[in-house]
Structure 1
Amino acid sequence: MKKVLVATDKPFAKIAVDGIRKIVEDAGCELVLLEKYADHADFVRAVEDVDAVIIRSDIADRRVIEAGKKLKIIVRAGAGYDNIDLNAATEHKVVAMNTPGQNSNAVAELALGMMVYMARNSFNGSSGTELRGKSLGIHAYGNVGKYVALIAKGFGMNVFAFDPYVDNDTMLADGVQPVASAEELYGKCQYVSLHIPANAQTKKSIGYDLLMKMPKGATLVNTARKEVIDEEGLLRVFEERPDFKYLSDIEPDLKNQFESLYAGRYFFTPKKMGAQTSEANVNAGLAAARQIIDFFENGNTTFQVNK
């Protein structure tokens, strides 16, 4: 009997665990739970005799993968997968997957919610601005970007997008205006919503030169990863442009400098909140379980992120 481990320092909701258990056990597999574990070593030990692992933000590093002598597949319940050591997974013939699209609406709602919060001066009683009629640039038009566009159009925003991997016709069909470069996107838009992954090409790619192209009253919204921001460059922008604001779904490394110098011009969630809704929690967990069973039964590797 194959074993599926759910290793979650931040556990899934009970309804999600119950759904995962049903999917796994109906397929003739055993479910093993490791929740709120005290130490990474607990995860390493738990993986020793399992065939599959489901994680959330838990770190599936080389130690975990090498300890999993029977491990065939590991699925990150969510879109980002930088918490999996992909090289180690490939070396040990472990399939690594994510569950794209399952928390996209939750992330998109957070992005627009933070925009409203900042546009209305953090609801401090003073007169703010409206989103209607403003230009929004979506940097990377994937699952989350599509939901951001849909919601933003409901607010009456003019929506643009840049993504070299998505054809223009797809964007146009959604009522979104494609642009040819990141420079053009940032130059047009008062708001830019970031949805790029963190990889060798994108880390620290959002910096001074690009951000300075944004129009007066600019707001950068980051529900991606903090690593894509050149924080030193962003602080230079803040110093030179009192009109510039930054919203992030994760606290930056230089948080203290923002707090001491630029009160009222930023908002950071205390921990990554994009997927923190009951709906996304359930959707991603069930999708991960289904993908594991589909892989075992049919060899389906549709969402594989390593080679």
Structure 2
Amino acid sequence: MPKVLIADKLSESAVEVFRQRGVDAEIATGLSPEELKKKLPGFDGLAIRSATKVTKEILDAAPDLRVVGRAGIGVDNVDQEAATARGVVVMNTPGGNAVTTAEHAISLMLAMARRIPQADASTKAGKWEKSKFQGVEVTNKTLGLVGCGNIGAIVAERARGLRMKVIAYDPYLTQERARTLGIKRVETLDELYGQADFITLHVPKTDETTGMIDKAAMQKMKPGVRIINCARGGLIVEQDLADMIQDGHVAAAAIDVYDEEPAKANPLFELENTVCTPHLGASTSEAQEKVAVQVAEQMADYLTTGAVSNALNMPSLTAEESEHLGPYMTLADQIGSFAGQLTRSGISSIKIEYEGTVAGLNTRPITQSALAALLRPVLASVNLVNAPVVARERDIEVSEVKHERDHDYQTLVRVSVQSESGSHSIAGTLFGGDKPRLVEINGIAVEAELGPRMLYISNEDKPGLIGDVGNTLAESGINIATFHLGRAERGRDALALIEVDDDVAPYVVEKLSKLPAIRDVNVFRHPQIQLAEAAE
């Protein structure tokens, strides 16, 4: 039974979801980094919120870890690069708190516009300062969205209900999507800055967005602009914002996230024209329940069925896709493994081609299966998650090609490898929709099912080969299970693919290599045997 450690506070519903889906969940919150490192061995999954920091050191101390699930959208506390290198899937729940965060942004905007927190504090202090807290209407004002993904789109919908004009800057926002939302797309941030009365941020924290709202950016905004940030801390240079509020160019700000959290001191806390909340964007009972259940479902599905959803370092793969693509991924695994075991020098490029039915499917998981299997003979730790990174680190060019041309087979997958010592091309298909078969090796047609132990022999097409090989194996006490032959044309290049019942010792390979007409002999081990040996 897979095991998951819940290291941050999650709804009890998460534990129930894990239990119902056949995953053992243990709760251990508030652990120090050292305690977490000691605790993690033996766990397949780690469920967190924002408190636990999943560093390279933590990952290195968790040899069994397969997935990290973040209940929420932000994954600043997970070293994704280190997780990917280790082959650990990183998941989040981007839609789980979208409504809650969007509503908080709207709430902050209204509270800031009408100065509600300040008026509340004054009234409760026994004052009646009605004239001091004059606000502004939002009706007919222009709201500028910096980022228009899930949360930004909900903010836009709510703002239009308040009769606001909404504009948005987002490089990924299409004109069609903007029309559907009833908003105007602007081409540049400067254009948004020049038009918006209110600006709300809904972008992730990246190298490009960190510090994007600084003094220079605010100077381009309309005098009297009001700024809201419920996205990520660090998007705004806080001291610059405080200075611009004091100068009067920025009328007010409503902030929920900060450079350093928990934020005990901040230049924005000292100003009257700010509304500050302690990272409450996702803090509703509905959102907490939703993200806890969602992350548990995602992690359990991955650990029990291989389904991948909302992963940040691996293509998504639904449970239905996982079942449907499973035979193709198995085929790619076998072809890639065969090609990898034939390759004896540094690889420069890998091409994966799809023809027929498979060309119309989600081929990214299939490609990564082939890539991982191909690299596994050299790197036992490679898997579906880190295979593309491993290839990139080694300057291996990887390409994927889909053909619409007709072929003899309903579906065909071909893996071609270029290395320092030459090239190999292996193709396969599925018989009966789920039975992998090799159908071509280096341009020579052959039809074979890959067994646990295979001998691959390349040779000249000359009489007597079958008898010589059979006698040599018999003398060594090795029984032949199946024997498959193929040739380019009579008297030219040929091959033999032989399934045997026992391991073939190196001395047997050497004896075979010395037989007349044989050019090369390779021992092929099935991917499942490779994985089992690596696990041991």
CA distance in 1, matches of 2:253, 2:213: 12
Name which of 284, 292, 307 aligns with 2:291: 284
Residue in structure 1 matched with residue 275 of structure 2 by the alignment:
267
Name which of 47, 52, 57 aligns with 2:40: 47
SS for the counterpart of 1:214 is coil
CA distance in 1, matches of 2:73, 2:176: 24
How far has the Cα of 1:274 moved from its partner? 0.6
Name which of 96, 107, 115 aligns with 1:113: 107
Name which of 221, 225, 234 aligns with 1:218: 225
How far has the Cα of 1:252 moved from its partner? 5.0
Matches within 5 A, 1:153-302: 153-252=160-259, 255-260=265-270, 263-269=271-277, 271-302=278-309
CA distance in 2, matches of 1:222, 1:292: 30
The answer to whether the aligner puts 1:146 opposite 2:146 as a matched pair is no
CA separation of 1:168 and 1:43: change in aligned 2, threshold 3 A: farther
The answer to whether the aligner puts 1:73 opposite 2:67 as a matched pair is yes
Which shows bigger deviation, 234-243 or 44-53? 234-243
Matches within 5 A, 1:16-27: 16-17=11-12, 19-27=13-21
CA distance in 2, matches of 1:257, 1:81: 26
SS for the counterpart of 1:284 is helix
CA distance in 1, matches of 2:304, 2:24: 15
CA separation of 1:229 and 1:59: change in aligned 2, threshold 3 A: same
Q: Which digits, 9 at most, give the CA deviation of each residue in 1:121-167, with x for residues without a partner?
A: 23514321221111101111111101111111111111111110121
* Greater relative contact order (Cα < 8 A, sep 6+): 1
CA distance in 1, matches of 2:188, 2:159: 21
SS for the counterpart of 2:110 is helix
What root-mean-square deviation, in Å, do the aligned CA atoms of Structure 1 and Structure 2 show? 1.9
Q: Which digits, 9 at most, give the CA deviation of each residue in 1:179-235, with x for residues without a partner?
A: 111111121111111011111111111212222222232111011112111234324
The alignment covers a number of residue pairs equal to: 297
CA separation of 1:55 and 1:66: change in aligned 2, threshold 3 A: same
CA distance in 1, matches of 2:65, 2:48: 14
Segments of 5+ residues of structure 2 without an aligned counterpart are 120-129, 315-536
Residue in structure 2 matched with residue 7 of structure 1 by the alignment:
7
Residue in structure 1 matched with residue 56 of structure 2 by the alignment:
62
How far has the Cα of 1:243 moved from its partner? 4.5
How far has the Cα of 1:251 moved from its partner? 4.1
Segments of 5+ residues of structure 1 without an aligned counterpart are none
CA distance in 1, matches of 2:209, 2:56: 23
CA distance in 2, matches of 1:169, 1:284: 30
* Identity in percent: 30
Which shows bigger deviation, 206-215 or 87-96? 206-215
CA contact under 8 A between 2:144 and 2:196: conserved in structure 1?
Answer: yes
How far has the Cα of 1:39 moved from its partner? 2.5
CA contact under 8 A between 1:251 and 1:268: conserved in structure 2?
Answer: no
Partner amino acid, structure 2, of 1:267: V
Q: Which digits, 9 at most, give the CA deviation of each residue in 1:16-69, with x for residues without a partner?
A: 32x22222122222111112x252333333322210111110211122211211
Q: Which digits, 9 at most, give the CA deviation of each residue in 1:92-116, with x for residues without a partner?
A: 1101111111101111111111111
Residue in structure 2 matched with residue 127 of structure 1 by the alignment:
134
CA contact under 8 A between 2:223 and 2:249: conserved in structure 1?
Answer: no
How far has the Cα of 1:287 moved from its partner? 0.8
Q: Which digits, 9 at most, give the CA deviation of each residue in 1:69-88, with x for residues without a partner?
A: 10000011111111101111
Partner amino acid, structure 1, of 2:79: D
Partner amino acid, structure 1, of 2:181: D
CA separation of 1:291 and 1:62: change in aligned 2, threshold 3 A: same
Which shows bigger deviation, 226-235 or 98-107? 226-235
Larger Rg: 2
Partner amino acid, structure 2, of 1:47: L
Residue in structure 2 matched with residue 98 of structure 1 by the alignment:
92
CA contact under 8 A between 2:238 and 2:268: conserved in structure 1?
Answer: no
Partner amino acid, structure 2, of 1:51: D
CA distance in 1, matches of 2:75, 2:100: 17
CA contact under 8 A between 2:146 and 2:202: conserved in structure 1?
Answer: yes
CA distance in 2, matches of 1:294, 1:42: 28
CA distance in 1, matches of 2:284, 2:89: 27
CA distance in 2, matches of 1:284, 1:243: 35
Partner amino acid, structure 1, of 2:202: H
CA contact under 8 A between 1:121 and 1:264: conserved in structure 2?
Answer: no
